[in-house]
Structure 1
Amino acid sequence: MKTIDDLIQQVIGISYIVHNTLGCGFLEKVYEKALAIELRKANVFFQEQFPIPVYYQDERIGEYFADLLVEGRLIVELKSVENLSSAHEKQLVNYLTATQIDDGLLLNFGSSSVQIKRKFRVYRRTEYKNCQNEQNKTYL
């Protein structure tokens, strides 16, 4: 079984393939379908439009849909906007909280290159493995 970091790197790589092929400017759904094709080709299990029920005091009050749930442990939320906003990030964190899934990716295909944000349900201070300079470590 792949680590979550390996899975995230694979999804990011696939997002670059999709963006390089399609470019920017399409609707979110186009990128979702293209990612689905590439994930299938890579034999990665995923679900599109994964339902997320929302409860208040044990009463169901609504439902959201995550764009992709990858291998049951990574929520991928897609956007096709000029710039990501804090509202987009909060949306993903809310999905993580509601599902109790720890890791999420926010991918924006609306600019000249893919914008990528990794989010956590619970704050974790993580050291990047691929730091170029051991003195200048990057933490999340």
Structure 2
Amino acid sequence: MPTDHTDRTDGLVRSDHTYAILGACFEVYNTMGSGFTEPIYQECFEQELKLREIPFEAQRAIPLCYKGMTLSHQFIPDLICYTDIIVERKAVRELCDEHRSQLINDLHASGFKLGLLVNFGHRSKVEHERFIH
């Protein structure tokens, strides 16, 4: 069952964009099934986003700051859709807290409000969770 970590006082943030992105995920899974590696799903997902004309940037480096100073380290989310939605893609048996923490940290570091954690590796369906920061 999908998990939505939405702050209920904020409502469904960007639900139209969320549905569009998840629709692309479902199409990739329905076409490819489970069992492939993350890079394969990444490429398929990028192609599906192009077909659906969903704007995205793949693996864009985002600078990290500490007390106003830019650090030499950056973080690189799998995808940024619609200029401000982070999509982290996995191909594992099931999502775990480490995967969730990664997305939460990405949201915190970027200042973005919405993130999707998508797992193509689940045997019977696309596993997905939505996070609001």
Shift of residue 27 of structure 1?
1.2
Residues 63-74 of structure 1 aligned to structure 2 (within 5 Å): 63-74=74-85
Shift of residue 51 of structure 1?
1.1
Of 24, 28, 34, 1:14 maps to 24
1:126 aligns with: none
Runs of 5+ in structure 2 lacking a partner?
1-12
TM-score, normalised to structure 2, is 0.84
Runs of 5+ in structure 1 lacking a partner?
122-140
Shift of residue 100 of structure 1?
0.8
- Residue 93 of structure 2 aligns to a residue in which SS? coil
- Equivalent residues of 2:26, 2:126 under 8 A apart: yes
- Equivalent residues of 2:107, 2:113 under 8 A apart: yes
- 1:90 & 1:66 partners in 2: Cα distance? 13
1:100 aligns with: 111
Letter in 1 for 2:120: F
1:67-103 deviation digits (Å, cap 9, x = unpaired) = 0100112100000111111110110011111111100
- Residue 32 of structure 1 aligns to a residue in which SS? helix
Q: Share of identical aligned residues, percent?
A: 33
Larger Cα-atom Rg = 1
- 2:15 & 2:70 partners in 1: Cα distance? 35
Count of residues paired in the alignment? 119
Residues 37-52 of structure 1 aligned to structure 2 (within 5 Å): 37-52=47-62
Of 46, 65, 74, 1:55 maps to 65
- 1:86 & 1:101 partners in 2: Cα distance? 20
2:127 aligns with: 115
1:138 aligns with: none
Question: Deviating runs (4+, > 4 A) in structure 1?
Answer: none
Shift of residue 53 of structure 1?
2.1
- Equivalent residues of 1:55, 1:62 under 8 A apart: no
2:44 aligns with: 34
Letter in 1 for 2:97: S
- Equivalent residues of 2:63, 2:70 under 8 A apart: no
TM-score, normalised to structure 1, is 0.80
- Residue 50 of structure 1 aligns to a residue in which SS? coil
RMSD (CA atoms):
1.3
- Equivalent residues of 1:52, 1:95 under 8 A apart: no
